[in-house]
Amino acid sequence: MKSQTVFAWCFFVVWSTWMFALQSWLGALGSAARWVPDLGLVMALSLVARLDPADVPLCALLTALARSAFGVEPHVVVCAGVLGVFALALAARSVVELTGPVWRALVCGGLVFAFDAWLMLVHRARPPAGFGTFGVSIASAWSVALTSALLAWIVGPVLAHLPGLTPLRRRRW
């Protein structure tokens, strides 16, 4: 791996961490928290549309590590969910053009909903030990998916072209 690519992955980790930190901060502000988009996942999915397929597992692992730093979910649950979402993104990428605004928004919204549904399934399957029960409903997953789709539609290309990420974008149409 070239040093340029290593630095680009380091920049990706920094950007992902900042996105998930901003998402966590916005989520702690009050009743509008259910409308906060999944910033880090939208950024990673916008980049996945332009990555080589061999780089997607590393991107998924780094995204899961950045996400798990700011969540209460077990790390293995986040890692499994992110890997599943990225596998679905690769499958969707082979069928539709994810760099187009409409498809990017639809696929991103659907994948964010799938990830949040996965987290809800795990929370309901685990016995309440220590943390009590989480009051998570399917409506909050839809609101996050809708705002994430809107974010992907409006600023998806900007997120994929953040400073330092240029060596990662190899896929050309």
- Residue 113's CB is within 10 A of a number of other CB atoms, namely 20
- Token output for 91: 């499958």
173 pLDDT band (50/70/90 cuts)? very low
Answer yes or no: is pLDDT of 55 > 60. Answer: yes
Comparing 30 with 58, the larger pLDDT belongs to 58
- Show Cβ contacts of residue 130 under 8 Å, excluding neighbours closer than 6 positions: none
Q: How do the residues of the chain divide into helix, strand and coil, expressed in percent and rounded to 5? A: 75, 0, 25
